[in-house]
Structure 1
Amino acid sequence: MEQRNDHGMERGELHVISTGRQSSETLASIAEEIHDYVDVFHLREKAWSDREMVEAIEWLLAMGIPPEKIVVNHRIDVAHVTGVKGVQLAHHSIDVSTVRNAFGHLSIGCSVHSVKEAVSASEHGADYLLFGHIYPTSSKPGLAPRGLEGLRQVVRSASVPVIAIGGITPENTRETIQNGASGTAVLSGILLAEDPLEKAIAYKEELRRVAEDEQTI
C-alpha cells in the first residue's frame, strides 16, 4: 500500500525535470517510454515561448502522459490554460500566496534553497518543496552542495513534503529518503541517459524498496 501524506503526495515519488537540451518531440518520446515509472514530469524550459510550452504539453498528452502528471515551471498561465497538474514556482515567480488565492485548483510546488525559504513557502500555501542541490552536480559547478544536513533541516522546518534534487543517483536515493525527503527529482540522470527506461526503473525500484523497508520498521 502506498503511503500518502496530508498533501496527497505518495511517499517515494519520482519527479523528472526537463533538461533544456532536448526538443519537445524528443522529450515527449522519452516520457512515453518511462511514464509508468514517473510520478511527475516538470517542464522547466526557460528559453521556450509560451506557445512552445503549450505545444510541448500537447505532445506529452498525445503520447499518453496524463495531465495530472505534468507540472509547468514558473508559467502559471500556461499551467492554468492547459489544465495540467500544477506549477513549480522559482525565486523570481509570483509569490506562492498570490498564486494559491488566484489558482486554487493548481498543485503548487516551490523551489527553495534555505530553511527560511522553505518555511515561508510552506506557510503561504505550497503543496510541496523542491530542495537542493543535495550532492555535487555538474549543473552547479563550483557551488557547494547543501548536503544531507541541509535536507534534514529543511524537512524538520517545513510543514509540507520535500523533494530532493541535485546529484541524485539510484545509489544515493536511499539516504535522501532516510534523511526525510518524500521523493527525488532527476534531470539528465534519466533524460540524457543512454537508456532512459532502464534508469527510470532503477530510480523507481530503489524508491519502492525504501518505502517497503520503512513500512516494516
Structure 2
Amino acid sequence: MKTVLHVISDRNRHRLPLLQALSKAAEGGADVIQIREKKAPAAETYGMILELQQQLRLHGLATKVFVNDRADIGIAAELDGVHLAAKSLPIQVVKQLRMQTGWSGLIGCSIHALDEAVAAEQAGVDYVTFGHVYASESHPGLAPRGLQSLHRVVDALSIPVIAIGGIDRANVGAVLDTGCSGIAVIGAVLDAQDPLVATRQLKDEMEKSRTHPKIPFRLPSFPQS
C-alpha cells in the first residue's frame, strides 16, 4: 500500500482560481482534496464543495473530498471525511453525529505533539495530521517539529499519521522514511504555475520511496453524492 497525498485549499495561496487549481491537483493524482475555509460562511463553503464534486465527476476522478472543521457540511454533502482543528467540535461529538446520521466518512484531526496524538487516538479518530514538520508559510515564526518528532508519533500510534508543513519534492522522501501514511501540502501544489504538473511530480517522488507506511491510509470506498 502506497502513501497518500492530501492537498489542502487556501484562499491566500494559489496562482490559478482556487477551484481550478484544486481540480488540476485532482487530475494530477491527489488522493484527497481538503477544503479549509476558516472564515467563509457555511453556505459559501457548501457551494464550493458541490462545485468541486461536480468537477471531479465531469473528469471521472476518484479523488476524495474532505472538509476542515465543518462536520455539518461534511455530513450534509456526504463527504469522504471531516478534519477537525483545535477549535472544532470534540471528536466524541462528531463520532456521535456519524452514528446518528449514518454518514460513513473518516474523522481526522490536527495534532502538534505526541501527547495530543495519543489522546486523539484514544478518542477514536481515524487518522491524525502532524506538523508542521518543516518551516511553513502557514506558521510563520514558529519552529518546525522536525522529522524526529514525526517519527515518534508514527511509532506511538496504531492509526495513520499524515505529515504536513513545508513538504515538497526535495524532502518528501525523508518524510516518508518515517513510516508515515502520507503527506498533506498547500504551497507545493497551489503555489505552482501548473498544479497538475506539480502534483504529478510530487506523486512521482512519493512513488520512489522504498519505505512502506506503518499504517496504510484506507480511503473511503463509497461514492460522492
- Classify the TM-score, shorter chain: 0.7 to 0.9
**C-alpha separation between the residues in 2 aligned to 1:40 and 1:58?**
15
**C-alpha separation between the residues in 2 aligned to 1:22 and 1:140?**
13
After TM superposition, where is structure 1 displaced by more than 3 Å over at least 4 residues in a row?
A: 65-68
**C-alpha separation between the residues in 2 aligned to 1:68 and 1:198?**
16
Identity of aligned residues (%): 37
Q: Give the Å deviation of 1:67.
A: 8.0
1:34 to 19, 25, 31: 25
Q: Deviations over 1:142-186 (max 9, x none)?
A: 110000011011111222110000000111001111012110111
Contact 1:132/1:145, CA 8 A, preserved across alignment: yes
Q: How many residues align?
A: 203
**C-alpha separation between the residues in 1 aligned to 2:166 and 2:25?**
20
Q: Give the Å deviation of 1:28.
A: 2.1
Contact 2:179/2:211, CA 8 A, preserved across alignment: no
Gaps of 5+ in 1: 4-10
Give the letter aligned to residue 17 of structure 1: I
SS in structure 2 at match of 1:138? coil
The residue number in structure 2 matching 1:57 is 49
Structure-to-structure mapping, 1:147-158, within 5 angstroms: 147-158=146-157
Per chain length, whose mean CA-contact separation is higher, i.e. which structure has more relative contact order (CA < 8 Å, sep 6+)?
2
In the superposition, the TM-score normalised over structure 2's length comes to 0.84
The answer to whether structure 1 residue 71 and structure 2 residue 91 are counterparts is: no
Structure-to-structure mapping, 1:1-217, within 5 angstroms: 3=1, 11-21=2-12, 26-36=17-27, 37-64=29-56, 69-104=64-99, 105-210=104-209, 213-214=210-211
Gaps of 5+ in 2: 213-225
SS in structure 2 at match of 1:48? coil
Greater share of helix = 1
The 1:22–1:179 alpha-carbon spacing in structure 2 relative to 1, beyond 3 Å, is closer
Contact 1:119/1:159, CA 8 A, preserved across alignment: no
**C-alpha separation between the residues in 2 aligned to 1:92 and 1:107?**
18
Give the letter aligned to residue 13 of structure 1: V
In the superposition, the TM-score normalised over structure 1's length comes to 0.87
**C-alpha separation between the residues in 2 aligned to 1:140 and 1:99?**
27
Contact 2:7/2:30, CA 8 A, preserved across alignment: yes
SS in structure 1 at match of 2:193? coil
**C-alpha RMSD of matched pairs (Å):** 1.9
**C-alpha separation between the residues in 2 aligned to 1:28 and 1:193?**
14
Contact 1:72/1:87, CA 8 A, preserved across alignment: yes
Q: Give the Å deviation of 1:59.
A: 1.2
**C-alpha separation between the residues in 1 aligned to 2:183 and 2:167?**
7
SS in structure 1 at match of 2:174? helix
Give the letter aligned to residue 54 of structure 2: A
